[in-house]
Amino acid sequence: MADRPELSDPRSLYPQPPFPSQEQPAPGIVARLDPPADHGETSYQGAGKLRGQRALITGGDSGIGRAAAIAYAREGADVAISFLESEAEDAAEVADLIRAEGRKAVLLPGDITDENWCRKLVDRAVQDLGGLDILVINAARQQFRTDLTQLSTDDFDRTMKTNLYALHWIAQAAVSHMPAGSAIITTASVQAYDPSAILLDYATTKAGIVAYSKALAQQMIERGIRVNVVAPGPVWTVLQPSGGQPTRKVRNFGQNSAFGRPGQPVELAPVYVLLASPEASFITGEVYGVTGGAGIA
């Protein structure tokens, strides 16, 4: 048939390892990834599923958060993103992409390990967007340590505060501003179910995110707010070469997935759109795995 869409083998849609050797200081810069990641800059096509909504996304400058921000703008939402000051260059690119869709972009640089800042960023997002309908708590710290003795108290504390404490502080500050019909989406990981030996603290926080989000979902449905979790597998982001994985693992990142490659951030964007949209009106307390075949059981 003439109108039949052309299908593509998902295994060969994106680059496969081995990748070039590369290292970046944390938290990493998107433009230095080799090969480049696809966050949907030119590939994501919107359909107005979030028209008129207002979203706050933590870690919206790069990786999965960047892909969600681009997708939300192309679905008709105004978007606020939080990020570290050192990530301002990446954040500015995202803001330009949001504004190119005729949507409002709000930039909120700051450190989410600071409780006061977490509460301020919510207040500023609500003020600048005129309200809040979608909250995506996505920013994360991942720094590998090959041995338990190398995982310092400071390491453990910073990972816990970035990945778990900030989730609590931001959600606590946000829910009073969110009307019935709103959505909260958190980002866990396959690491919550199949932890790597070198990611003790990271995997612990991701398991905590699953438990926290499921408990929060039970509270929030009493307000008409849905809460769901996305659990990615290996995804090609700046998190990996900026200390998230050893160099040798970055070279072969994703090769053990069923696809023989890592996922791209844009491949997760439709899940974040679904869970934020009215189409997910009967979905709460769920964990959506996008793991490249690994599952989340």
Do 64 and 268 meet the contact criterion of CB atoms below 8 Å apart? yes
Tell me the residue length of the chain: 297
Selected catalytic residue, list 165, 202, 212, 288: 202
Tell me the two tokens of residue 206.
């991701």
202 assigned to active site: yes
CB-based contacts of 221, cutoff 8 Å, min separation 6? 227, 284, 285
Tell me the two tokens of residue 239.
């998190």
How deeply is 179 buried, as exposed, middle or buried, from its count of CB atoms within 10 A (0-12, 13-18, 19+)? exposed
Tell me how far apart the alpha carbons of residues 257 and 254 are, in angstroms, rounded to a whole number. 6
Tell me the two tokens of residue 223.
């307000």
Tell me the two tokens of residue 158.
């910073």
Do 36 and 115 meet the contact criterion of CB atoms below 8 Å apart? no
Active site residues: 202
